[in-house]
Structure 1
Amino acid sequence: MSSSSPLSCRQVEAQDSSEALKLAHGQGIKPAVMAKVQVLNEAIKEIGMGRFQYELFFTAGFGWFADNIWLQGISILNPSIGNEFRGQPGVGNISLALYAGLILGATFWGCSCDIVGRKIAWNCTLVIGGIFGIAAGAAPNFIALCALIAMIGFGVGGNLPVDGTLFLEFIPGSHQYLLTLLSVWWAIGQVVGSLIAWAFLAKYGCDTPPAGEFCSRSSNSGWRYTFYTLGAMMIVLWVGRFFLLPVYESPKFLASIGRDQEAVDTIHLIAKRNGKVSSLTLDDLRSAAEPYLDPEHQHRYEETKSAPGTKMSSWQLFRHSFDDLSFDHVKALFCTPRLAWSTSLVIFIYASIGLAYPLFNQFLGAYLSAKNANLGEDSLDSTYSAFTYQAACGVPGSILAAILVEWGRGGRKVAMAFFTVAAGIFLFGLTQAKTKAQINVLTCFAALCENAFYGVLYGYAPEVFPTPSRGTGDALAAASNRITGLFAPVIAVYGTASVEGPVYASASIFVVTGLVMLLLPIETRGRTAL
């Protein structure tokens, strides 16, 4: 194992009891890596928040935008697709294909970014979603459509674990609250997905036909136009990322795999983009790490002190990084009792939220249709206008969450617990709504709280995971979120007797999960992520 790999449990126990080593022990990082990351944190603090980081806020937001625009879009399109492919097994559960892809994408891209770097995943996820999104619009049959949707999920699934990781590793500790604010892009994606699907389905959609009949392709092209539009949008966002606002590889990742010269070079490139000058040198990193190196690694450092940095291409890094592939990144997340408890709770919270959120949101269309029908408002416009109101309310939720995580003594844990419990309470209230106004108000407040706790949670997890295993930790959490999401359609369709059932189940899970959040042992407010 190289000096840059995560700290194994046996190696941790062998260290002495100095404060620095205790901190490294608690974080599951080798002391030499921790020392270098702390130097890089100071270098980023010296540069400050500037043009590069603000541009990164937008390009990282593209990934959040893409994640929810597909979740929302496919949820809305599901009934229309079913009208065309009636009689196909499982046609009502087409979201299963998306979730299967999301699970593979979250796991593959999240874990690989700790091995080959963050930049490769960053540059691939959007274009994969775009290409297969356009292809899905031309799907000749239901099986092909499911396969293409799964590939959309594979690309899109890497966005949240990778984008949050990369963004966190470039911003100063004083601005880590912006990681929570990134969720505003998630809400915007939901709004845009609702509006695009609504526009195409209203004009080119086919009303639900009688039993035994189906809509023809020519009379039901709205869902295909939506796929074409969303796919093209992903390509445009990828062009913005790849060509207009390119990103550098994370200096913390480079330092964690021993590529110190490239880490220093990246810091100077960031400073230049921000119109600043950095005082960081290669000797600063090496001097910080040397006291913690064993004789073998000390000798290796001495040999390379006078050697010029050798840069590798992305393909070379991809090939050579798999030489050290092992479960060290996973083991590091469970290395101490405190870290194991924290990691386990984070995964549990992601999993429970992953079940509760789609139980309500993926079947919101059917729920709103049933509610509105009981009130004599069964038009398409009535249903999708409620969809859009609900989606738009998520935007202020992200802003409010970003404020609360830095306010008062509560910090991240109390903020996300508050919003999660509140979301459950509003959903319980929704089941008792008697008027259209009450339905719209309660769905809006529920959406505000849902987007807020998602923003805090997806900001908290990267902060609590250490740099060498951050992508892996995010991947495990995101994968658990998607895996439980697979069960939502099954529970909603076969496990409940009424349209209110999924809402009750979702509300109950939110309340319980919010209380569990208070048991998290680590508060990251005011602490610069390692």
Structure 2
Amino acid sequence: MTRETKDDKDVEIQENAAAKGARDVRRDLTYDEAKEIAREEGMRPAFYAKVNVLNDAIFEIGMGRYQLELFITAGFGWMADNLWLQAIAIVMPAVANEWVGYPHIRLATLALYVGLIFGATFWGMSCDVIGRRLAWNSTLLVSGIFGVAVGAAPNYVAFASLIACVGFGAGGNLPVDGTMFLEFIPGPHQYLLTFLSVWWAIGQVIGSLISWVFLAHYGCPTPPAGEFCSRESNMGWRYAYFCMGALMIFLWAIRFFVLPVYESPKFLASVGRDEEAVAVIHKIAKRNGTTSSLTIEHLRDAALPFLSDETDLSITTKFSTLELVKHSFDNMSADHITALFSTRRLALSTSLVIFCYASLGLGYPLFNAFLGTFLAEKNANLGNASLNATYSAYTYQAACGVPGSILAALLVNWSRGGRKFAMSFFTIMAGAFLFALIASKTTTQTNALVSVASFWENAFYGVLYGYAPEVFPTPSRGTGDALASAASRFTGLFAPIIAAYIPDSVNGPVYASASIFMLTGIVMLFLPIETVGKTAL
């Protein structure tokens, strides 16, 4: 079966889905066609058959209360990710005034990224082994507890250590929450995964507002060289961390007690828990005020023609608790990784997605992780060194990220461009405006260009974070997201090192960031998979 034939078939399936409205849509495929598509997507044919049954069942239920609640609670995680990234950038000048000064304070970002790497890897890969819910119900709580603890740090070493622990919790938010949300929404509404990035922008706004309030009122002005502020005169950044940590714990409580989630039915089907997968589908239907006609026989009948080809016949087996634990440890192997490179097309797609995450993981913090410092130094050079001017500008640019996320959600469904064109265009535009920022001559120009750059940055991240989970197959989706997120955090480790020792400490990091954005935007055009109009497997 050629790639063109498969694409034509997928288009036909999508066009007929509304008319048929049932799980029999994918039965238009022949046995050989289904096997070939499953091979290209890096999954077993029997599971491919089952996941299409589940996709049709979710389509039959449609968008409803459960998915809307999930959009809100998944948004908490995306909000938390950017809030913690921005928090360290915003409070960095205040912490430097109290302890270590420049350039060494920038290495605190290094501690955060170490935590983010371990968090993205641990939570992302574990959700393919023991399920999505454990990570979903843990990440906000972990980051919140340690976020509160950061505010009580007695010295710089404790501060950096606790920041790393915050990163460990926050690192799981994007890979886990995106995976969870995608696996519960009907195919025609997958653009909402991109729209989740509006929460990422909101996180930046909230972090900016909290920090602005406390730092402007309880911050210590920059002391003379060789001197430092006392703790009592510099409590603003501590109050900010107390507040943000408490906010994360509050959001976790909403997730856990008020709007709890079910385990992903696609994950359950991938580890042989078919009856539980069917039960979850019916629970979603009930929560949405509707019904589902899905039965366990539908899943088993779909998989049955492929069972003779399976090396693991347990896909329709109900495991005991002990067997599930043993099975989870058996899955702690390289299988989830090798599945992402099992075909030439999937290997190219996975490699380029990881490259894009890695390059943007370096380019984004080179500018944004030190934006507070950049604004303070730039405004000081322009004759406006007040704390209020710095943090008000920071808040304005954060707010401009919100419409960027909205534009991203609108453009990803444009059939003539699709996901690849949208994120390439947004990334190149972000780079172009950062180049213009270097030449800004007034405070007004600086604030305007920073705000416009923020608009495009939130737009390209929104598309990228929605695109990646769509191209990874369900059994290895968490692992794929974990590898991409870990690559992003790993390259982010080098941002504080580059920024600390680059010759031009004000414009140098901005120039490097802009160059990386432009290059990555071009590479995005070579991604082999376009996901617009297709339901994720």
TM-score (norm 1): 0.93
Alignment match, 1:269: 283
The 1:173–1:218 alpha-carbon spacing in structure 2 relative to 1, beyond 3 Å, is same
**Corresponding residue of 1:12:** none
The 1:459/1:311 distance shift into structure 2, 3 A limit, reads: farther
Structure 2: which 5+ residue stretches go unaligned? 1-29
* Partner residue in 2 for 1:334: 341
251, 266, 270: which is aligned to 1:252?
A: 266
Partner-residue secondary structure (3-state), 2:138: helix
1:200-279 equivalences under 5 Å are 200-279=214-293
Identity of aligned residues (%): 67
Q: In the alignment, residue 243 of structure 1 is paired with which amino acid?
A: F
Which SS does the other structure have where 1:510 is aligned? helix
Kindly indicate whether the alpha-carbon contact (under 8 Å) linking 1:134 and 1:231 is maintained by their aligned counterparts in 2: yes
1:285 to partner: Cα distance: 0.2
The correspondence for 1:93, drawn from 103, 107, 111, is 107
Please tell me the residue identity of whatever aligns with 2:263. Answer: E
**SS class of match (1:497):** coil
Specify the alignment match of 2:510 in structure 1: 503
Distance 2:495 2:315 in 1: 52
Structure 2 residue corresponding to 1:36, chosen from 47, 50, 55: 50
CA distance in 2, matches of 1:326, 1:66: 30
Counterparts of 1:17 and 1:252, CA distance in 2: 21
Q: Is the 8 A contact 1:417 1:517 kept in 2?
A: yes
Q: Of 332, 340, 350, which aligns to 1:343?
A: 350
Which of 454, 466, 471 matches 2:473?
A: 466
2:448 to 418, 441, 451: 441
**Whole-angstrom distance in 2 between the partners of 1:213 and 1:301:** 66
Q: Which moved more, 1:358-367 or 1:270-279?
A: 358-367
Deviation at 1:198, TM superposition (A): 1.1
What's 1:154 paired with?
168
Could you list the per-position Cα deviations for residues 437-477 of structure 1 after superposition, in whole angstroms to 9, with x for gaps in the alignment?
Answer: 22122111110100000000000000000000000000000
Which of 356, 380, 385 is matched with 2:363 structurally? Answer: 356
Report the residue type matching 2:232 in the other structure.
S
Provide the residue aligned with 2:382 in structure 1: 375
Moved more, 439-448 or 511-520: 439-448
Q: Which residue of 1 aligns with 2:12?
A: none
Distance of 2:406 and 2:197 partners within structure 1 = 9
Corresponding residue to 1:58 among 57, 60, 72: 72
Match of 1:478, SS? helix
**2:216 alignment partner AA:** A
Q: Structure 1 residues 88, 142: CA separation in 2 closer, same or farther (over 3 Å shift)?
A: farther
Match for 1:488: what amino acid? A
Which residue number in structure 2 is paired with residue 118 of structure 1? Answer: 132
Q: Which residue of 1 aligns with 2:204?
A: 190
Superposed displacement of residue 371, structure 1: 2.2
- The residue identity in structure 2 corresponding to 1:434 is K
Structure 1 window deviating more from structure 2 (244-253 vs 138-147): it is 138-147
- What is the match of residue 11 of structure 2? none
Q: In the aligned structure 1, how far is the partner of 2:143 from the partner of 2:334?
A: 29
Q: 1:344–1:295: structure 2 CA closer, same or farther, 3 Å change rule?
A: closer
SS in 1 for 2:403: helix
The yes-or-no answer on 1:521 pairing with 2:528 is: yes
Deviation, structure 1 residue 34 = 0.6
Distance 1:33 1:213, change over 3 A: same
Residue in structure 1 matched with residue 155 of structure 2 by the alignment: 141
Q: SS at the partner of 1:362?
A: helix
Alpha-carbon distance between aligned partners in 1 of 2:500 and 2:400, rounded to the nearest angstrom = 27
**1:23 matched residue in structure 2:** 37
Alpha-carbon distance, 1:318 to partner: 5.4
Equivalent position SS for 1:434: coil
- Aligned-pair CA distance for 1:208: 1.4
Tell me, in whole angstroms, the C-alpha distance in 2 between the residues paired with 1:462 and 1:139: 37
In 1, Cα distance between equivalents of 2:502 and 2:102:
21
What's 2:195 paired with? 181
Report the number of matched residues.
508
* Residue number in structure 2 paired with 1:404: 411
Say if 1:413 and 1:518, in contact at 8 Å, map to a contact too. yes
**More displaced stretch, 143-152 vs 187-196:** 143-152
Cα deviation for residue 300 of structure 1 reads 5.8
State the partner residue of 1:415: 422
Whole-angstrom CA distance in 1 between matches of 2:94 and 2:315? 62
Q: Name the CA shift for 1:89/1:439 in 2 (closer, same or farther; >3 Å).
A: closer
What is the one-letter code of the residue matched to 2:246?
Answer: A
Contact conserved, 2:92 with 2:373, CA < 8 A, in 1?
A: no
Q: Aligned-pair distance for 1:299?
A: 7.2
Q: Which amino acid aligns with 2:284?
A: I
Report deviation, 1:436: 2.0
Partners of 1:512 and 1:361 in 2: CA distance: 18
Hey, which bits of structure 1, 4+ residues long, moved more than 6 A? 295-299
Question: Among residues 175, 180, 191, which one is paired with 1:166 in the alignment?
Answer: 180
2: CA distance between counterparts of 1:132 and 1:423? Answer: 33
What stretches of structure 1 of length at least 5 have no aligned partner? 1-15
What code does the residue aligned with 1:368 have? Answer: L
Describe the SS at the equivalent of 1:276: coil
CA separation of 1:82 and 1:392: change in aligned 2, threshold 3 A: same
Task: Give, in whole Å, the separation in 1 of the partners of 2:180 and 2:232.
Answer: 44
1:286-301 equivalences under 5 Å are 286-294=300-308
- Output the CA distance in 2 between the equivalents of 1:87 and 1:433: 27
- Quote the RMSD (CA, aligned, Å): 1.8
Cα deviation, residue 346, structure 1: 0.3
Q: Note if 1:455 corresponds to 2:462.
A: yes
Cα shift readout 1:216-251 (whole Å, capped 9, x = no counterpart): 111111111111101100000000000000000000
8 A contact 2:415–2:532 mirrored in 1: no
Q: How far is the alpha carbon of 1:336 from its aligned partner?
A: 0.7
Deviation at 1:310, TM superposition (A): 6.6
- Quick check: 1:496–1:502 contact (8 Å CA) kept in 2? no
Residues 480, 310 of structure 1: CA spacing in aligned structure 2 closer, same or farther, 3 A cutoff? closer
Q: Which moved more, 1:232-241 or 1:317-326?
A: 317-326
Q: Residues of 1 paired with 2:312 and 2:113: CA distance?
A: 47
1:215 to partner: Cα distance:
1.0
Return the offset for 1:499.
Answer: 1.1
Match of 1:8 in 2: none
Going from structure 1 to structure 2, the CA distance change for 1:445 and 1:275 (only over 3 Å counts) comes to: same
2:123 is the alignment partner of 1:109 = yes
Query: Does the 8 Å CA contact 1:290/1:298 hold for their aligned counterparts?
Result: no
- Secondary structure class of the residue paired with 1:372: helix
Pick one of 395, 409, 413 that aligns with 1:388: 395
For 1:529 and 1:113, locate their aligned partners in 2 and report how far apart those are by CA, in whole Å.
Answer: 18
Shift of 1:323: 2.8
SS of aligned partner of 1:521: coil
Q: Letter of the aligned partner of 1:95 in structure 2?
A: T
Q: Is the Cα–Cα contact under 8 Å of residues 79 and 92 in structure 1 kept in the other structure?
A: no
Compute the displacement of 1:89 (Å): 9.4
For the 8 Å contact 2:349–2:528, the answer to whether it is kept is yes
Query: Deviation of residue 87 (structure 1)?
Result: 6.8
Equivalent of residue 365 in structure 1, options 332, 357, 372: 372
